Homo-oligomer: A and B are copies of this chain.
Amino acid sequence: MKHNLLRRTVAEFIGTLFLLAAVVGSGIMGERLAAGNVALALLANTIATGTALIAIILAFGPISGAHLNPAVTLADAWTGGIPWRETPVYIAAQLAGGIAGVTLAHLMFGLSAVSASTHPRNGFAQLLSEFIATFGLLAVILGCARSRPSVVPVAVGAYITAAYWFTASTSFANPAVTIARSMTNTFAGIQPSDIAGFVAAQLAGALAATLLFQWLVPPPKPERTPSSLTHPL
């Protein structure tokens, strides 16, 4: 094993911390500066999130695969990437990193460490959006990972940039992100009672994409060692 589990866990923690700091921090900055124009605030939030993803996955991908997302970790285990026994460790690191990232964003912007969101995000349109957002995210990762793993960072950054605008939910597409964003009563927040629906829709979307791509891109050669989904090296 190239990197021991502790190192990879720390990489997932810090990577997810920076992802959430980027999502929440840029939402706060965007809203403060946009003088009430929500399109402009979301544009800033989008550009910051997409470019942060590229940088974070490039930096931490070589260490841990830079899943940053329990849905990605589960899909990776399902398709023969990381061992199942490691998935709880990865997911715990992502959840803890997400919450730490929200707290960090709050402290950088002079807010209290956490604040429960009151932003309602529910109903069929929102849940469908999260199903599609996560389906698409996994499709992009699985579509690139086997043939050209080095493009995964740009593909994911580009996809999320688009999905912020083409889904009605602004594409959370990540259970750790969803839980963390319930702890910020700012631009990027989601009220805690809406977490369950979002996560269920996300996991369903991830499962659907994984099943589809198992059929769509069958493993090319039996002698090939299973490798991490998003591991660019």
Contact = CB atoms under 8 A, between A and B. Distances in A.
Nearest to A24: B166
A60 B38 CA distance: 33
Contacts of A63: 143, 216-217
Interface in A1-43: 3, 7, 10-11, 14, 18, 21-26, 29-30, 33-43
B11 A55 contact: no
Nearest to A127: B108
Contact of A33 (B29, B38, B167): B38
B52 A159 contact: yes
A41 B29 CA distance: 13
Interface bracket on A:
35 or more
15 contacts: A14-B139, A18-B139, A21-B132, A25-B166, A29-B165, A30-B39, A40-B40, A40-B43, A52-B158, A59-B155, A104-B132, A108-B128, A108-B167, A109-B125, A110-B124
A62 interface: yes
Given A22-B162, A26-B165, A55-B158, 13 more contacts: A7-B216, A22-B165, A23-B166, A25-B167, A35-B39, A37-B39, A47-B47, A59-B139, A62-B147, A107-B124, A108-B125, A108-B128, A148-B232
A202 interface: no
